[in-house]
Amino acid sequence: MTDTWKTRTKLVHGGVRRSQYNEVSEALFLTQGFVYDSAEAAEARFLQAGEDEFIYARYGNPTVAMFERRIAALEGAEDAFATASGMAAVSGALTSMLKAGDHVVSARALFGSCLYVLEEVLTRFGVEVTFVDGTDLDAWRAAVREDTKLVFFETIANPTLEVIDIAAVAEIAHAVGAQVMVDNVFATPVFSRALEQGADVVVYSATKHIDGQGRTLGGVILGTTEFIRKTVEPYMKHTGGSMSPFTAWVMLKGLETIDLRVRAQAAGALHIAEALQGHPKLAQVIYPGHPSHPQHALVARQMGKGGTVIALDIKGGQGAAFRFLNALQIVLISNNLGDAKSIATHPATTTHQRLAEDVKAKLGITPGLVRLSVGIEDHEDLIADVLQALDAV
Ligand SMILES: *Cc1c(COP(=O)(O)O)cnc(C)c1O
């Protein structure tokens, strides 16, 4: 039945496990362990735990399992493993499947911590990593080799919102037998069709749109049951990156409303991007869902909508960007994204501060660039706030 449900039904009812009390709202099983009826039962469960049998929260927990089932149903994945943070998902997915001598090709424009894992951690254990401009298909073609085990990229780059063609890169990777892993945060699980477009593994920071209200850190790895249960689960359960039941309960309730929130946020983002076109204080308004985005056709094909984040390049550099940020009255200055509250970030001095100047320039992280994560507030209020802050520049 679940398979034929449409998205919003899956998000409200998918994955539910009810206790003997038949509660309406999903129960929070805040327990590390589980009691066995006998020593023999404990032995049997360690030998082979059944679908409704749990051993220890690092291995699995009923609330966490509900979250995993629900997000897998949303993504159209066979299975999912929930993790303590987005980075536990990225590092766990990579480390569980790679070994010394493997070759990886990755897009260069990455979230700082993803770059650290690929560039500093994996290479320390003998994995060779080649970085390419992810939007350049010829660069992917030139970089993959017969021994390439994996390609990795963020489907929409942070903060410059360049879009990578999942189907095209997957075709190049699969031709040499490599797997495709995508960090899909900016595309959001609502607009993602990454698996159907050729990705083998999809990773999310659930901290962003899945929580959606700025409370908890979490992540999830999605893929085939074979990959999740044979490769990811043994690694995650023994190395300690599993999601806590409390977090899973918050994330489950986040999933109930994610479709409503993200669609409202994307509509707001488009509305704001339209209102700011040609503004004299702006060198550029970047929004993947607006026809002015250079890859608008790809965005329309790949995800339908443009997501919840806009980037504004304010004329006058860092000083102008700071005046803009300091004049905002509704939009908060912070560094999360996907939240119900609109948030503005100055990447060059915060999230991407550690990058060398030439790397920032290469990635398009200019001194005037401001990332705006659009929340669920009234669009007109947000437009008025952004316009009055631009007046203050
Ligand atoms: C936030 C983020 C992460 C890391 O997620 P955490 O939950 O903060 O660990 C990874 N990739 C992308 C693209 C992100 O935006």
Spans of the chain, pLDDT less than 50: none
State the Cα–Cα distance between residues 330 and 274, nearest whole angstrom.
19
The torsion region of residue 389 among left (phi > 0), alpha (psi -120 to 50) and beta comes to: alpha
Q: What is the pLDDT of residue 1?
A: 53
- Pair 308, 337: CB distance under 8 Å: yes
Gap from CA of 205 to ligand 1 centroid (Å): 5
Q: Count Cβ atoms within 10 A of the Cβ of residue 270 and give its class: 0-12 exposed, 13-18 middle, 19 or more buried.
A: buried
Gap from CA of 339 to ligand 1 centroid (Å): 13
Gap from CA of 22 to ligand 1 centroid (Å): 35
Gap from CA of 145 to ligand 1 centroid (Å): 28
Residue to probe by mutation, ligand 1, list 155, 201, 204, 208, most atoms within 8 Å of CB: 208
Q: What is the pLDDT of residue 354?
A: 86
Placement of tokens 């990579």 in the chain: 94
Gap from CA of 326 to ligand 1 centroid (Å): 25
In degrees, to the nearest 5, what angle opens at C-alpha 287 toward C-alphas 281 and 292?
Answer: 80
State the Cα–Cα distance between residues 45 and 47, nearest whole angstrom.
5
Q: Which domains does the chain have, with CATH numbers?
A: 2-254 (3.40.640.10), 258-392 (3.90.1150.10)
Q: Work out which ligand 1 atom sits closest to the CA atom of 154.
A: 13
Residue 72: which residues within 8 A CB-CB, separation 6 or more? 15, 78, 79, 80, 222
Residue type, 5: W
Residue 74: both structure tokens together = 């949303």
Q: Work out which ligand 1 atom sits closest to the CA atom of 206.
A: 7
State the Cα–Cα distance between residues 31 and 336, nearest whole angstrom.
29
pLDDT one-digit tens code per residue, 28-62: 999 999 999 999 999 999 999 988 899 999 999 99
pLDDT one-digit tens code per residue, 199-218: 999 999 999 999 999 999 99
Q: Work out which ligand 1 atom sits closest to the CA atom of 337.
A: 15
Q: Work out which ligand 1 atom sits closest to the CA atom of 208.
A: 1
Gap from CA of 275 to ligand 1 centroid (Å): 29
Gap from CA of 277 to ligand 1 centroid (Å): 29
Q: Work out which ligand 1 atom sits closest to the CA atom of 217.
A: 7
Residue to probe by mutation, ligand 1, list 183, 192, 216, most atoms within 8 Å of CB: 183
Nearest-CA residue for ligand 1 atom 6 is 86
Gap from CA of 111 to ligand 1 centroid (Å): 7
Report residues whose beta carbon is within 6 angstroms of any ligand 1 atom: 85-87, 90, 111, 113-114, 154, 158, 183, 185, 205, 207-208, 217, 219
Whole-angstrom CA distances from 54 to 31, 62, 246, 248 are: 11, 8, 16, 15
Gap from CA of 87 to ligand 1 centroid (Å): 6
Residue among 118, 261, 283 at smallest CA distance from 191: 261
The neighbouring-strand residues paired with 106 are 131, 152
Residue 141: how many other CB atoms lie within 10 Å: 15
- What is the largest distance, in Å, between two alpha-carbon atoms of the chain? 75
**Model pTM?**
0.97
Residue to probe by mutation, ligand 1, list 90, 108, 113, 217, most atoms within 8 Å of CB: 113
Q: Work out which ligand 1 atom sits closest to the CA atom of 219.
A: 7
Residue among 137, 140, 134 at smallest CA distance from 155: 134
Q: What's the chain look like in SS3?
A: CHHHCCHHHHHHHCCCCCCCCCCCCCCCCCCCECCCCCHHHHHHHHHCCCCCCCCECCCCCHHHHHHHHHHHHHHCCCEEEEECCHHHHHHHHHHHHCCCCCEEEEECCCCHHHHHHHHHHHHHHCCEEEEECCCCHHHHHHHCCCCEEEEEEECECCCCCCECCHHHHHHHHHHCCCEEEEECCCCHHHHCCCCCCCCCEEEEECCCCCCCCCCCCCEEEEECHHHHHHHHHHHHHHHCCECCHHHHHHHHHHHHHHHHHHHHHHHHHHHHHHHHCCCCCEEEEECCCCCCCCCHHHHHHHCCCCCCEEEEEECCHHHHHHHHHHHCCCCEECCCCCCCCCEEECHHHCCCCCCCHHHHHHHCCCCCEEEEECCCCCHHHHHHHHHHHHHCC
